[in-house]
Chains A and B, each alone.
Chain A
Amino acid sequence: KNEVEQSPQNLTAQEGEFITINCSYSVGISALHWLQQHPGGGIVSLFMLSSGKKKHGRLIATINIQEKHSSLHITASHPRDSAVYICAAWNNNDMRFGAGTRLTVKP
């Protein structure tokens, strides 16, 4: 079992839909990161969370430390949101990545 599990692996949505991507981790963490990777490899760091909730534009990230679970939400999804979304847990000077969720938003 991976230390960081994401679900779903693949997600297809229609433009405008509300998207939720989940991340569960089995290790203790000091921070959890959400990353976005576009085709061609470019990675953008979206959020770093250690508690609570953060919002940036249409993106919202939440974390529940007790349940070891984080979610990334996208409101009013758009085709340009199509990418792979990766969560990564930072613990004891080591970072463990989930396998990623491939999101496709159709017009």
Chain B
Amino acid sequence: ETGVTQSPTHLIKTRGQQVTLRCSSQSGHNTVSWYQQALGQGPQFIFQYYREEENGRGNFPPRFSGLQFPNYSSELNVNALELDDSALYLCASSLGLRADTQYFGPGTRLTVL
């Protein structure tokens, strides 16, 4: 176990709805990254937060937004859900931007109907 937890484990939403996914970092880790992994594909980088500020962003539209809190836990928000948003959403925490290792959570599987 990595110490990174995500909630919920599974979620079913309908098109147009909004969703919030949560990630609790490993203790002391100040950096969190979010990834989307569609079925049968490799992960895609959504964004990274370092000390509550967005540090980098992949090719995702603005309806994907995030937050990192003072305790370094994090949220991923997706507005106006589309069918293609159905995927496994993974978060990973690390200590600093140049850390050798990211610790991944188990993921949240989102299904959009």
Interface of A with B (CB < 8 Å)? 31, 33, 35, 41-45, 47-48, 86, 88, 92-100
Contact = CB atoms under 8 A, between A and B. Distances in A.
Interface string B45-69: 1001000000111110000000000
Contacts of B109: 41
B31 to A, nearest CB: 12
A100 B103 CA distance: 19
17 contacts: A33-B102, A41-B109, A42-B107, A43-B90, A45-B101, A48-B99, A86-B43, A88-B45, A92-B56, A93-B48, A93-B56, A93-B57, A94-B56, A97-B42, A97-B43, A99-B41, A100-B42
A interface, by DSSP: helix, strand, loop or mixed?
Answer: strand
A42 B92 CA distance: 11
B58 A95 contact: yes
Looking at A48, A95, A96, which has the most chain B CB atoms within 10 Å of its CB? A95
A94 to B, nearest CB: 6
Given A41-B37, A42-B104, A88-B45, 14 more contacts: A33-B102, A41-B107, A41-B109, A43-B90, A43-B104, A45-B101, A47-B100, A48-B99, A86-B42, A94-B56, A94-B58, A96-B45, A97-B43, A97-B45
A99 B55 contact: no
Interface string B70-113: 00000000000000000010101000001111111011010000
Contacts, number: 55
Interface of B: 33, 37, 41-45, 48, 55-59, 88, 90, 92, 98-104, 106-107, 109
A92 B59 CA distance: 13
Given A93-B55, A97-B42, A99-B42, A45 B103 contact: yes
Looking at A31, A43, A97, A100, which has the most chain B CB atoms within 10 Å of its CB? A43
A96 B39 CA distance: 17
